[in-house]
Amino acid sequence: MRRTIPYRYGVILLMAALALPACQEVIDIELDTTYRRLVVFGTVTTDSLHHQVRLSTTSDYFSNQPAPAVSDALVELKMGETVLRLEELDSVPGLYQTPVAFRGKPLTRYHLHISQVDVDNDGIFESYEAETTMPVTPMLDSIRLVYFQTPFFSGYQVFMFAMDSPEREWYGFKIWKNSDLLTDELSDYRVQSDDFVNGKYIYGLPVGFLTDSDPRQTLLPGDTVTLELNSIGEDFFDFISDAQLEIMGNNPLFSGPSANVHSNIGNNGIGIFTAYSLRSVSVIVRP
Amino acid sequence: MTVRGNHQAWFFSIILFFLAAAGHGKVSVSGYVRDAATGEALIGANVVILESGTGTITNTYGFYSLTLDPGFYSLVFSYVGYLTETRPVNLGTDLALHVALEESYLELQEVTVTAESSNSNITRVETGSTQLPIQSIKKIPALLGEVDVIKAIQLLPGVQVTSEGSSGFSVRGGARDQNLILLDEAPVYNASHLLGFFSVFNNDAIKDVKLYKGDIPASSGGRLASLLDIRMKDGNNHKLSATGGIGTISSRLTLEGPVFSEKASFLLSGRRTYADIFLPLAKDTAVRDNSLYFFDLNAKLNYTINDRNRLFLSGYFGKDVFANDFAGMYFGNRTFSLRWNHLFSKKLFSNFTLINSHYFYDLGTPQGEIPYFNWISFLDDYGFRGDFTWYLRPEHTIRYGVSSFFHVIKPGSIVAKDQDGNETKSALSGNYSLENGVYFSGESKLGNRLAVRYGLRYSFFHNIGDAQVFTYNDDYEVIDSTYYARGEFYHFHHGLEPRLSANILINEKSSVKASYSRTRQYMQMASNSSAGTPLDVWFSASPNIRPQLSDQVTLGYFRNYLDNRIETSLEVYYKKMNHAIDFRDHAQLLLNPRLEGELRIGDATSYGAEFFVKYETRRFAGWVSYTYSRAIRDISGINDGKPYPAPYDKPHDVAVVFSYDISDRFAFASNWIYSTGIPFTMPTGRYEILGNILPLYTGRNEYRLPDYHRLDLSLTIKGRKKPEKRWSGEWNFSVYNAYARKNVWTISFVQDELHPDQTYAEMTYLFSIIPAITYNFRF
């Protein structure tokens, strides 16, 4: 059970900035290798779209090649009595999507089944399973933008107002500027549990910061800022939190030993299959 | 009390009766051994009966007592660095004999009587302990010229630094929270300034430092690996004096002197970094408005009420500040101890202490700002201890006592206000507990060749409400919770901790020592980083967490040469720890109400061999230490259940330390340190999700960082001696990492931003060559 506190990254950045400066250099290192594993990334949301699953494999750490795609797999999505066979896109090997667009439903249990893959090249097909339940739609109320100017950075802080239900929940925050998704990187997608706000009205939780130093994030009067609040499951929360720690890298002051990112893919698979509900609210930047 | 408890009480009563009977008809000579110039009590001074060769050593208050048959004796008082005194006594009745020893001065041109070299390393019973003279610590070159107790003990065999520049240390494979650090008997929970690069101990205020590596006296408990017992100076009770220094990073001043008379003295010692004083001069406003400093203050007052009673009041207060107009972080310690020495008789010395320790951190936005955020965490210890030392005979000393500590942990309280001033408050459940100990121990010389130290500590621990305790299933998921009301005792742990050591004296130059000890730890730190941060929190044993347990055995051979000028030792140890804790992969330890669910419990083993050579002459002093050691953990739920190296597993560790007085004004000192690279987790594969390359690992701590080594140098130039002037000063020039080795602090595996399919390894190193200049003065 974990939580991300609102100011965790800010605190760590402050400490890192104020700590004695260190120096960095590229070094040559020889690493061992390991057997190949299947990598899965699949999502189902409450948006009406063709939901997708991407399959690839692991490779040696310094292989420096694009991740090998896994083609011709049998990928099935089961929800209740309905089973959908996902079709691989000709234009993007390894990317499978549902043949029809549909909206995922909260409280529905989704089951992903992958077969007819031979990742370890031993001539025997393997199969992989994953399950997830879509949480209820979050009760997002509104957002507010507040401009900050500090010695270290300036820009707009996005504050969220919402009602948290008494159940344990986990949230993800996506921020759009007009039609541009600003939090498209794994490292930018903030996630948080509701440990400190459980069952309470959330007054102004900071959920994102749009910095003036990035032209893509700089806001001008008339721009529309949209917060997409995702109600995600604990598996996805763990996956994103772990992945972000690994992307940040090891720091002896703040982090524990490196470790594999959480996965809910069976049979020693890697990655995540998740279903989340969402709700969006927008605000227009005033002059 | 149970029937079994009744038998134990009777057993000890009978033992005490026979021991008391053994002292019947004898007389005692007792008193204090002090520094003649300052009145400071000398800890561990030898008091030997010339006629028999037996004797004792002074305790931590400089007190000694010998119970003998009536008669004529010559008592020899000696202490390293002081002239030996011999006092003839005619013992017919109990006698109070206080001795003041003069410091010895090194004169290169003249023959000067100096203290005889001591073979106490041969004769003392305790194994794995080292007393570090403050003068030795002052000579060790240090980072940015900041002489440091913790950095000095990291040069001893069996002691590993946990991360470069860190004030954390590992003793014989133990974790860094397994060291009990006491400052005048008050526990210090976070001994770090500036993220660990400097410790909280101001050398100018310190009198004595002693490290016990596992063979911890029965009077102390609560930590598995070591006891670092630091004693502050009492204060010069003869005259007002001052010492200080202006260094590269901090300045310090110590004032000490008598209070109205020689019956009382005070000590005030302060230190502050001052680089931030120059920040307002910066052109860049981003720099100008920052506050970045630490300070600490040691204060002590002692008062001799009469020959039987003395009072000591000790305090420490220190704080680190990182702040600007936008946010701030503050953390620090406060310790307080009030001690009363009371002599019930010439043979029975007692000490009673009231203790408070406080560690806190506070971070957030400035008060009054909207929006506002503040996060506070603190830990408080309130304790009492009573210790008795019964100097039965020169061959037998008995110690017994009790201790009790009330621990209060508030791991995190948050207050947040939004733009409209709406306030949200949240707090993690507090943790309250009572940790107690009762002990009985003795030291006996059995004949001319065998000495033993034996002890039994009984520790017991209660959890106390107000607390919410979660119940976890086998997957560490919360399935239930129980609330305990304020003051409700709801859980109990206890156990015996036997301690036994023996010294077989082969001859005056060599001995063989062996020991066994069991220790328990009820309080541990929630930290999985190797260096540690000010945000580390402590938590206690509970219904979900059993106390950690350690059993250690050691065997050592000690041999001196050249009239004890060369001391050598070879000590081997084996330590088994049960209920050892570690944290699951990617554990979230900050502000986590379900912190116990992040723990994984198992076993740990460490073993090693420590080789030590120390050489001292009038001009030259130094030591070489080599340790071969392994520390392995075997914890369910980590590394797929396979054993893995502990973070401080460094098979080879070498320290070469020496100082040389070139002349009476010039002194040169140097350290060379080498250790195997720390265990490290590196990827063996990779995969890609949403354009990000993520690493794939096959084992925790499978690899090692490159080996670590560095050379430090220092040169001290003393001012010319002018007897008519009270002021004396010296310049110290030091170089840290003299050959600028880029010792790897960590390695990151980075995705190339321009070529996203490519990755590379990037090493981070903290320090290249760093010179420093310090001016020290005394008047």
Residues A246 and A158 reside in one and the same domain: yes
Tell whether A127 is covered by a domain: yes
Which of B362, B375, B687, B744 is best to mutate for the A interface (most A CBs within 10 A)?
Answer: B687
Distance between CA atoms of B646 and B641, rounded to whole angstroms? Answer: 14
Q: What angle is formed at CA B175 by the lines to CA B174 and CA B179, rounded to 5 degrees?
A: 80
Which of B681, B682, B696, B742 is best to mutate for the A interface (most A CBs within 10 A)?
Answer: B696
pLDDT of residue A1: 31
Residues A126 and A156 reside in one and the same domain: no
Q: Would you call B592 and A15 a contact, using CB atoms and an 8 Å cutoff? A: no
How do strand B27-35 and strand B95-96 relate by DSSP bridges? Answer: parallel
Please indicate if any CB of chain B lies within 8 Å of the CB of A187: yes
Among residues A94, A109, A133, the one where a domain terminates is A133
* Confidence class for position A6, pLDDT limits 50, 70, 90: very low
User: Residues B314-325: what's their mean pLDDT?
Assistant: 89
Q: Would you call A151 and B324 a contact, using CB atoms and an 8 Å cutoff? A: yes
Q: From residue B425, how far is each of A196, A202, B360 by CA, in Å?
A: 9, 11, 19
Inter-residue contact B322 to A15 (CB < 8 Å): yes
pLDDT of residue A5: 32
Q: How far is B594 from chain A (nearest CA, A)?
A: 7
- Helical residues (DSSP H) of B522-657, grouped into ranges: none
Tell whether A272 is covered by a domain: no
Nearest-CA residue of chain A relative to B163? A252
Which of A29, A57, A60, A153 is best to mutate for the B interface (most B CBs within 10 A)?
Answer: A29
B104 φ/ψ angles, rounded to the nearest 5 degrees = -85, 145
Q: Would you call B586 and A56 a contact, using CB atoms and an 8 Å cutoff? A: no
What CATH number does residue A247 fall under? 2.60.40
Tell whether A243 is covered by a domain: yes
Distance between CA atoms of B581 and A52, rounded to whole angstroms? Answer: 41
Q: What is the pLDDT of residues A148-199, one digit of tens each?
A: 887 677 899 999 999 999 888 999 999 999 999 999 889 889 999 998 788 8
Does B287 have pLDDT greater than 70?
no
Give the residue numbers spanning the domain of A218: 139-258+278-284
Residues A57 and A125 reside in one and the same domain: yes
pLDDT of residue B364: 86
User: Residues B190-218: what's their mean pLDDT?
Assistant: 87
Distance between CA atoms of B244 and B222, rounded to whole angstroms? Answer: 36
User: Residues B277-295: what's their mean pLDDT?
Assistant: 70
Inter-residue contact B362 to B340 (CB < 8 Å): no
Residues A112 and A92 reside in one and the same domain: yes
Q: Would you call A32 and B532 a contact, using CB atoms and an 8 Å cutoff? A: no
Residues A184 and A240 reside in one and the same domain: yes
Closest in B163, B329, B418 to A252, CB measured: B163
Closest in B329, B692, B745 to A243, CB measured: B692
Q: How far is B647 from chain A (nearest CA, A)?
A: 9
Q: What is the pLDDT of residues B669-705, one digit of tens each?
A: 999 999 999 999 999 999 999 989 999 999 999 999 9
Closest in A144, A184, A255 to B529, CB measured: A255
Q: How far is B59 from chain A (nearest CA, A)?
A: 39
How do strand B644-645 and strand A170-177 relate by DSSP bridges? Answer: unpaired
Check residue A94 and report its DSSP letter: T
Chain A to chain B Cβ contacts (< 8 Å):
257
Number of structural domains chain A divides into: 2
- The answer for A 22-61 residues in CB contact with B (under 8 A) is 22-29, 31-34, 36-37, 39, 41, 54, 56-61
Q: Would you call A262 and B586 a contact, using CB atoms and an 8 Å cutoff? A: yes
Inter-residue contact B533 to B479 (CB < 8 Å): no
- The answer for A 217-236 residues in CB contact with B (under 8 A) is none
Among residues A76, A103, A133, the one where a domain terminates is A133
Check: pTM over 0.80? Answer yes or no. yes
Q: How many other CB atoms are found less than 10 A from the CB of residue A190?
A: 21
pLDDT of residue B421: 74
With beta carbons under 8 A apart, name residues in chain B contacting A259: 585-586, 681, 697, 700
> Across B50-196, where does the E strand assignment appear?
55-57, 63-68, 71-78, 85-91, 95-96, 99-101, 129-133, 159-161, 169-171, 179-183, 186-187, 192-193
Residues A100 and A156 reside in one and the same domain: no
How do strand B431-446 and strand B396-417 relate by DSSP bridges? Answer: antiparallel
Tell whether A239 is covered by a domain: yes
With beta carbons under 8 A apart, name residues in chain A contacting B526: none
Q: What is the pLDDT of residues B631-658, one digit of tens each?
A: 999 999 999 999 999 998 999 999 999 9
Among residues A133, A160, A184, the one where a domain terminates is A133
Tell whether A15 is covered by a domain: no
Closest in A7, A25, A254 to B533, CB measured: A254
Q: From residue A107, how far is each of A42, A133, B296, B479, B659 by CA, in Å?
A: 18, 6, 57, 21, 73
3-state helix, strand, coil in chain B (%, to 5): 10, 60, 35
Tell whether A129 is covered by a domain: yes
Tell me the two tokens of residue A285. Answer: 């930047």
With beta carbons under 8 A apart, name residues in chain B contacting A20: 165, 194-195, 197, 766
Tell whether A267 is covered by a domain: no
Map tokens 């009270």 to a residue.
B726
Residues A52 and A110 reside in one and the same domain: yes
Neighbouring C-alpha atoms within 13 Å toward the C-beta of B157? 25
Residues A85 and A121 reside in one and the same domain: yes
Residues A73 and A169 reside in one and the same domain: no
pLDDT of residue B277: 67
* Confidence class for position B459, pLDDT limits 50, 70, 90: very high
Tell whether A228 is covered by a domain: yes
Residues A114 and A152 reside in one and the same domain: no
Inter-residue contact B186 to B236 (CB < 8 Å): no
With beta carbons under 8 A apart, name residues in chain B contacting A62: 759-760
Q: What is the ipTM of this complex?
A: 0.91
Residues A179 and A104 reside in one and the same domain: no
- Of these ranges, A242-251, A257-266, B208-217, the one predicted with the greatest mean pLDDT is A257-266
Bond into B394 cis (ω within 30): no
With beta carbons under 8 A apart, name residues in chain A contacting B583: 256
Residues A126 and A144 reside in one and the same domain: no
Q: How far is B610 from chain A (nearest CA, A)?
A: 27
- Give the lowest-confidence range in A257-261, B40-44, B186-190, B247-251: B247-251
With beta carbons under 8 A apart, name residues in chain B contacting A57: 687
Does B530 have pLDDT greater than 80?
no
Q: What is the pLDDT of residues B14-58, one digit of tens each?
A: 555 555 555 567 899 999 999 999 999 999 899 999 988 888 999
pLDDT of residue B2: 38
